[in-house]
Structure 1
Amino acid sequence: MTKVGHIYLIDDDESMRTSLCRMLKDVGYIVEDFSSAATFLEHSLPVAPAVILLDMQMPDMSGLDLQEKLLQFGRKTPIVFVSGQSHPHQIVKSLKQGAVDFLFKPFNLEDLLKAVADALEFDRRQLKRLSKEVETKKDYASLTPREKEVCYWLVTGLLNKDIAIKLGTTDATIKVHKARIMDKMNVESVQALVVKYLESNLENIQNN
């Protein structure tokens, strides 16, 4: 049975790649293996949920270098580092830059499978958040310029009458705008609107 999850395995040690590929495929994962970071960058296509099993020490480009390049590209596939030996500063830096786990060779299958499962679950949550954010931004884009203004002041906590004074209009007009905003943003309360607004960083869009 195929598990839901894609594994990119990057290691310059051919015997290690062969062994890990076999083990991971045996438990049902889809596995793509690469002998170098450069090959991965050139040939891999982003899918989700996925995890990158990444060797730290490689001749052409280290695992840390690849992690930094992926961050620059905005590619957020979670990374589990595997390493025979690494300096403490490499481990700390990789974790600070978002690696979800760090395994030392030789590691046992149970630890590997737990790290993979945790990383895939992280990517599922990440994908869900991203999809939700895209939908929220799409809803926000459907607001008129005036509705966006009213939305902003609602989120800051102003009452209808205060917003009316700020925008030089009437309380009744603000109520109409508010009703349309709630409908377009698919929320039933101002509290829910605030949560959506902040989670999706809509203030940055408003200010641009």
Structure 2
Amino acid sequence: MSSTHQTVGQQVTNQSSSQQAVQFQTLQTYNTSILHPQPTRNIHTPKPPVGSDEWLKQRRANHKEVERRRREIINEGRIIARAVQYIQRLKEQESTNLEKWTLEKLLCEQAISELSLQVETLKHQNSQLKAQLAALTQQLQPQYQTATATATAANSTAQNTTTQTNQNIQVQNKIQVTNQTQIQSNTSANTQAVQESQSKVGTVAKIEKEKE
């Protein structure tokens, strides 16, 4: 990874150096054209006498023209200098972005290759786990069937036992109800017999009192 960073840095440095050389050459050409303009071809015309009104008028016109050209050249030089500075900033920004984007591209490619390798490894592990799962399922299938049959039988036995227990409880309840009914009937009969005996005793005592 460090060697990749160094290679990218060297490439970007070389590109920046070549771009700076081109920019310097362009700026030098602009400065030369501004400081040493090409001479213009003068058309020879008859000049008025020195000191005349026409000569003074032409002199003022020439002075204004020279001043106008000088200002135009100065303005053009400023515009060109600003344009050169702007182009230099764009070139610097471009070189910086190029370096950053190249590094990001290399990092993304490396990350993609690592992720692809991880995907292949996970696919291989997944296939192995599927094979192991199929083998374990095949091994545990008889045991599962046996356990299912045992559980079914146990449930059936438990249901039968529960049914028998419920039946026994119902029989016991019936017996208890029958015993309670019989006890109540016996109690009623005894009570009635006692009452009859008491009635007879009272009657006998009453008869004896009458005899006396």
Does TM, scored on the shorter chain, surpass 0.5? no
Q: Which has the higher helix share?
A: 2
Of structures 1 and 2, the one scoring higher in RCO (CA 8 A, sep 6+) is 2
TM-score by length of 1: 0.24
Rg comparison, structure with higher value:
2
TM (normalized to structure 2)? 0.23
